[in-house]
A and B are shown apart, each in its own frame.
Chain A
């Protein structure tokens, strides 16, 4: 079976038990950061697969928020607390919304794509901020999830949720890795290089982008649910464009060379943020901006390109990776 898996997938499968064991070995606060950054990491993955097609989504927070709110509303209004139902409702909501919006967005490229995804996410931001039933700008709380009728409490609940999150996050990463190597994954790279020729070759660029957009939306919604459940809270800030900007930041910083890069990048960012905010709260964004500028100028293919160069393995991976925004 292993011969069907590539290096990245084997690495992810090896990482899975380690990730789960970490929950028992490391202090609780680090585990919490790992847990939360798996959720946001999936959204960064959503940004990254679109970047492979040369499209920068400045509104990926939309689906992050849709996932979280869909799960939250199921719990709030229907009283459902089952983890799998909540997850499914997040995915379905994102699929429906992105399926419809995709018809509009697939017509746009470059800055228009970036800015329209941003605008769409801000519509939701405006909508949620003024909806009293959903707590306006404060958002609302989510219950502790149950699992197919089993409702653990306290520490067991936390560990169950963590373990499931690990499985789902790794599963999504492997699925997306497969997607990048699928025909549509390669069509996306061709679109980035030259869209007109893709059309001459008889493939619909718009369709490929539509599919990629919907997939990115579904993954981001999963991320939203997985992020909201451990925190037990959702608010409109999830879809504000500054949140989406951070996902773009992670994708730029870590690069699009490998599916693992955004996941690790998100975790590092979360940890750095904890210390940076503590030491000097008013320079956090400045640090982000400076690092982003330096990355764009000196490492256009992200930090992952350093790793890929050093190991000199699978040269195609680093060559295929697009530089930021190209």
Chain B
């Protein structure tokens, strides 16, 4: 019972973190058909800027409560700047090229971003634990959990709900669905496709940075976190079906619970249980659970 509760809560925590980290990836793929490896770079930028900002702020000795504004702000600034530079500076010259080529291009961007973070913040690690313990802990069946964990879960649900509402209930969302359906026709109808692309990419980048920023208080932010998250979030979105927001949510839950289960039942399996689940899903559904059927083109 104790283990089951631990798996349930930890699984939910992992899932929330995974969803926040990978929803930007699936959004960008869904709209632009770009599997953005640079997403790992955005995640790292978000994590570093958040940890750095929290560090500087708490050094002044002011109340920790305001750091909860600092985290989304850091993600917004880091994601928007990096996303705009990458989209306007590199990707827009590449639209319409092959999908695999875009993977290579974004991989190159990822490599550059890795060193940009190193140049800005150095190679030492940053620890910004203050927000994580500000609200203290709650006990569920004698196991203490930080309230911060539940804040992350709440944020993940809020982000998911917001994206769902924007995409399905607003005019912008409807237009975006049209752009996804057919770029050329929607351009001919007077929709500014370029603007939609730039906006989607920047929003995706901000979401990636938010994933990093909100995780920063729980971990030690050090070089290499971007390379780790990109393979994890790929597993998440491929399980759910690439380009589907709901799929990313289901994928995050599956991966989150698989990881939590192996952490509590058989720790050595933690790293590869995720990919095992992914391989199992793909063996049955080759393009993920929620992938739309695509006709074979001659």
Chain A positions within 8 Å of B, measured between CB atoms, are 54, 56, 58, 104, 107-108, 110-112, 114-116, 118-120, 122-127, 129-131, 196, 240-242, 245, 248, 252, 282-286, 288-290, 292-293, 296-297, 323-326
Bound Cα distance from A58 to B227, whole angstroms: 13
Question: B238 near A: Cβ within 8 Å?
Answer: yes
Question: B275 near A: Cβ within 8 Å?
Answer: yes
On whether the beta carbons of A296 and B108 are closer than 8 Å, the reply is: yes
On whether the beta carbons of A284 and B115 are closer than 8 Å, the reply is: yes
On whether the beta carbons of A290 and B104 are closer than 8 Å, the reply is: no
Bound Cα distance from A297 to B97, whole angstroms: 11
- Which one of A104, A282, A288 has the greatest number of beta carbons of chain B within 10 Å? A282
Bound Cα distance from A286 to B111, whole angstroms: 6
Residue interface bits B241-264, CB-to-A below 8 A is 1, else 0: 000000000000000000000000
On whether the beta carbons of B107 and A245 are closer than 8 Å, the reply is: yes
Question: B100 near A: Cβ within 8 Å?
Answer: yes
Task: Pick the 8 closest A-B CB pairs, nearest first.
Answer: A126-B271, A289-B111, A126-B272, A325-B101, A286-B115, A325-B100, A289-B112, A292-B108
Given A283-B119, A289-B109, A289-B110, CB of A116 within 8 Å of CB of B282:
yes
Chain B positions within 8 Å of A, measured between CB atoms, are 35, 90, 93, 98-105, 107-112, 114-116, 118-119, 123, 227, 231, 234-235, 238, 267-272, 274-276, 278-279, 282-283, 286-287, 296, 298
On whether the beta carbons of A111 and B282 are closer than 8 Å, the reply is: no
On whether the beta carbons of A119 and B99 are closer than 8 Å, the reply is: no
Given A108-B286, A119-B278, A196-B298, CB of A282 within 8 Å of CB of B104:
no
Contacts of A108 in B (CB 8 A): 286
> Out of A116, A118, A325, which one reaches B104, CB within 8 Å?
A325
On whether the beta carbons of B270 and A296 are closer than 8 Å, the reply is: no
> Out of A116, A130, A282, which one reaches B271, CB within 8 Å?
A130
> Out of A112, A118, A242, which one reaches B287, CB within 8 Å?
A112
On whether the beta carbons of A122 and B103 are closer than 8 Å, the reply is: no
On whether the beta carbons of A293 and B108 are closer than 8 Å, the reply is: yes
Given A130-B270, A283-B119, CB of A293 within 8 Å of CB of B101:
no
